[in-house]
Amino acid sequence: MQINNLVKLYFHVCDKYKEQVYFEVQTHSNNNEQVGFITDEELITIYLFCVAYEEKYRIKSMHKYIKNHWHSLFPVLASYQAFNARLNNLCDAFPVLLTDFMNRVSISSDSLKILLGDSLPVITCSHKRGDKVAKELTDKGFCATKNLHYYGVKIHLLGLRRASSIPMPQYIKITPASVHDLAASRNILETINADISILDKAYADADLAKRMQQNGNTLLTPIKDKKGWAAALKQTDQAFNDIFNEAVSSIRQPIESLFNWIN
Q: Is-above-0.75 flag for pTM?
A: no
All structural domains of the chain, each given as residue ranges with its CATH number in brackets, are 2-103 (no CATH), 108-262 (3.30.420)
Burial 148-175 (b: 16+ CB within 10 A, else e): eebbbbbbbbbbbbbeeebbbbbbeeeb
The per-residue pLDDT for range 116-128, each reduced to its tens digit, is 999 999 998 877 7
Q: Which helix (H) or strand (E) holds 99?
A: helix 93-104
With a cut of 70, list the residues of the chain below it in pLDDT: 27-36, 102-103, 105-111, 225-236
**pLDDT for 163:** 81
Interior CA angle at 130 toward 125 and 134, to 5°?
65
**pLDDT for 50:** 94
